[in-house]
Structure 1
Amino acid sequence: MLIIDSPSNNAYFNIAAEEYLLHHYPEKELFLLYVNAPSIIVGRFQNTLAEINLDYVTENQIKVVRRLSGGGAVYHDLGNLNFSFHTTQGSDDFSDFSKFTQPVVDLLNGLNVPARLEGRNDLLVDGKKFSGNAKLARNGKMIQHGTILLNSEMQVLSEALKINPLKFKDKAVKSARAHVTNLIDYLPGGITLDKFKQLLIDQIVKENEASTIHSLNPGEVAKIEQLAAEKYSTWDWNFGGSPAYNFKKAIKVPAGFIELHLDVKKGVIQQARIFGDFFASKPIEELEERLIGEAHEIDTMKRVLSSVKLTDYFGKVSLDELVTLFQ
């Protein structure tokens, strides 16, 4: 396993690095660590403008970057450590997050922090979330990445992210701050982000004896910077052009939050966009394309949805649940 500590705090660079490493190390297992300056990282299938406080984000020069994986929006700053495992895609269950969150849990438990994995993809301490995790499968590889809130600015986090009531309808939520916490108050005194990063690297080395440290060379840095400039810093990628939707609905299912936008003319779907914090092992654009040209009526939607394996696009969801999205 190659262990890479990113030399940059630029979110455009670090999210671009995930894609670059995915394609340029097709057979290598990697462990990437990075720390971003203030930024919001949105899930691949999310409607960015519905997730952020745009005025606040613009005023405070907070970068907004869309990642390749599904899941929800997260806030990053210099008090937040991000980790990313790149592995060859084998027989592992795509929906199982335990394997690659376990090193973090083991490290924290060894420091007498009662951390544990709970729900789909969250790490909690005392019932509060300090780490959200996401994953994707592509080109024979799988990436699972997550955040670790060590000493983030919680007020900024709360102001920068909008909370969608539907996403939290089954939880007693008063604010985002009520559900997240920093680890700094649980860790032994004197542990900084850099020290914690080194402890996590040591934990990975301990569990993977053949691991080696790899520094990105100038050529790799240049290619990542080019990808960041051409894709990850652009409005088209991070926000995307939206059609003039005539139909919009959202549902909450075990697989996550799913939001549908349709542009319908004379009863026929002209454009379709699907957003949410679900995890997909296949591109959601494939399903969006299948909807175009079909009549926006329930029997037709059942036929179209029955023709695909829904779990490839949404995880744990039933046909009946998804059909309600179109009603």
Structure 2
Amino acid sequence: MAQAMVKRIVSSSACTFAGLAQKTYIRNVAASSKVAASKKERVLPTEGEITKSVFMSQSTDIYTNLALEDWLYKNMDFTNHHVMMVWRNEPCVVIGRHQNPWLEANVPLLSEKEIALARRNSGGGTVYHDRGNLNITFFAPRERYDRNYNLKLIKRALFRSFGIKSTINERQDLIVRDKYKVSGTAAKLGRLTGYHHCTLLVNANKADLSKALAKREHGIQTKATASTRSEVANLKDLDNRITVENLQTALGYEYLRTPALHLDDGGQSLIAKQRGFQFVNPTDDWFPGLAELKNDLVSWDWCFGRTPMFTVSRSFPVPIGLLAPSKVYSATQELVINMTVEKGLINDVTLSIPPGLIESGFHGEASVITHLKGKRFTSEALNALQDAMLTRHHVSDVKELDDKEQFVAKCFDQVVNTM
């Protein structure tokens, strides 16, 4: 029934824009935002002069949806028109603007499973998305940005439509059954515009979520923002009738029936005055310049290269079989790898090679370090390490590493988290 109601709304010319009309509307709003930006002070409208829309993205690509979010933030004027955007993604991990992906996500697993990793423009912690999540972004003028309003609106929609009770904790997460997190939250505030976004777990694959965000032994020290781990639940665990589609409908109606600045219930009469549900097609044709924004978000330099500086220190016991056979050592022989990584590139590295490994024939730390500096903190660095060790042989027909070199390469492999 709820889906049928959405179809009736989006097919009504009074409640939606389509095709050329929609694209023209977006360009006009973008142009008006430039006028607003040129003014030192804005005169904000009264609540009764503000209309609302629910934008429904037709893309399920994380980079496209983040680019659309960024485009709206930069180009639209929300002074008289507030927007809630709803969107879904194929499996991906999304980190906050100031986070370290190697610390927050299981990067090797993501690569193996071809799960996208994206860095968003807002702060906050790391989240896992799949088609069982509903993502929501609330856009408003900066002066009227109100995260508490948005979360209470979601709470009310969950209870009105599904009888699900939830609470807002001190971190502004939505909690059910006094324990389980169903929604996290993050935001971005600019000079003119602010947005608050969150994701609701409806029927997400919790096993994949757990694996994608699994903590590993990294030895990383950093000042990057760290995520707070929480027990999570799907809303479907509380009511098996709930789907992403009918939740989207429930939230959309709750948004449209609620005045822009306070949480009264305006009912059907207020819904009729709004701009309704609008499908949006995130392409350059509709949103000029969107492709360029997406290209930036896809790039390695953004997803990984924007990581705050960090150091790594790892120790690895050397197997007895690799030590000099004629020697007896009183202490454990350990290979120690220390690195400094800036902008995702290895800036400094030290290999502390224990006496037992040197006496068994391994040497050449200086040449290894020379080859590693400036390499990405990925398998690129591992390949450089292997090449450096091969060049030490000075024999053109030697194509393989010996057992000691293979051990060092394996340890380095674990440091840079390659598979």
Tell me the equivalent position of 1:55. Answer: 108
Tell me the equivalent position of 2:147. Answer: 97
Tell me the equivalent position of 1:180. Answer: 232
Tell me the equivalent position of 1:116. Answer: 167
User: Are 2:280 and 1:216 equivalent residues in the alignment?
Assistant: yes
- In the alignment, structure 1 segments of 5+ residues that lack a partner are 166-174, 249-260, 264-269, 271-327
User: Are 2:301 and 1:236 equivalent residues in the alignment?
Assistant: yes
Tell me the equivalent position of 2:202. Answer: 150
Q: Alpha carbons of 1:262 and 1:192: their partners in 2 closer, same or farther (altered >3 Å)? A: closer
Task: Give a deviation string over 1:6-43, Cα, whole Å, max 9, x none.
Answer: 00000010111110001121334211000010011100
Q: 2:121 and 2:301 mapped to 1: Cα distance?
A: 14
Q: 2:132 and 2:249 mapped to 1: Cα distance?
A: 15
- 1:1-327 paired onto structure 2 within 5 Å: 1-27=52-78, 28-90=81-143, 97-110=147-160, 111-126=162-177, 127-163=179-215, 179-187=231-239, 189-208=240-259, 209=270, 210-212=273-275, 213-216=277-280, 219-221=285-287, 223-228=289-294, 230-240=295-305
Which region of structure 1 is more displaced relative to structure 2, 234-243 or 154-163? Answer: 234-243
Q: Secondary structure at the match of 1:81?
A: strand
Q: 1:206 and 1:195 mapped to 2: Cα distance?
A: 16
Task: Give a deviation string over 1:237-294, Cα, whole Å, max 9, x none.
Answer: 111166875699xxxxxxxxxxxx898xxxxxx9xxxxxxxxxxxxxxxxxxxxxxxx
Aligned residue identity for 1:211: Q
1:51/1:164 contact within 8 Å kept: no
Deviation at 1:162, TM superposition (A): 3.4
Aligned residue identity for 1:193: V
Q: Secondary structure at the match of 1:3?
A: strand
State TM-score, norm by structure 2: 0.52
Aligned residue identity for 2:67: A
Q: Alpha carbons of 1:245 and 1:78: their partners in 2 closer, same or farther (altered >3 Å)? A: closer
2:122/2:187 contact within 8 Å kept: yes
Deviation at 1:2, TM superposition (A): 2.3
Deviation at 1:222, TM superposition (A): 5.9
Aligned residue identity for 1:143: Y
- In the alignment, structure 2 segments of 5+ residues that lack a partner are 1-51, 218-227, 260-269, 314-339, 348-419
Q: 1:184 and 1:128 mapped to 2: Cα distance?
A: 13
Of Structure 1 and Structure 2, which has the larger fraction of its residues in helix? 2
Which region of structure 1 is more displaced relative to structure 2, 106-115 or 6-15? Answer: 106-115
2:84/2:137 contact within 8 Å kept: yes
Q: Secondary structure at the match of 1:220?
A: coil
Q: Alpha carbons of 1:244 and 1:232: their partners in 2 closer, same or farther (altered >3 Å)? A: closer
State TM-score, norm by structure 1: 0.66
Deviation at 1:128, TM superposition (A): 0.4
1:38/1:75 contact within 8 Å kept: yes
Deviation at 1:220, TM superposition (A): 2.3
Q: 1:59 and 1:161 mapped to 2: Cα distance?
A: 14
Q: Alpha carbons of 1:17 and 1:75: their partners in 2 closer, same or farther (altered >3 Å)? A: same
1:123/1:129 contact within 8 Å kept: yes
2:98/2:308 contact within 8 Å kept: no
Q: Alpha carbons of 1:207 and 1:53: their partners in 2 closer, same or farther (altered >3 Å)? A: same
Q: Percent identity?
A: 27
Q: Alpha carbons of 1:227 and 1:163: their partners in 2 closer, same or farther (altered >3 Å)? A: same
Q: 2:278 and 2:67 mapped to 1: Cα distance?
A: 17
Give the greater-gyration-radius structure (CA).
2
Aligned length: 239
1:97/1:120 contact within 8 Å kept: no
2:138/2:196 contact within 8 Å kept: yes
Deviation at 1:232, TM superposition (A): 1.1
Task: Give a deviation string over 1:105-155, Cα, whole Å, max 9, x none.
Answer: 001122221111112220010110000011110131110000000000001
Aligned residue identity for 1:225: A
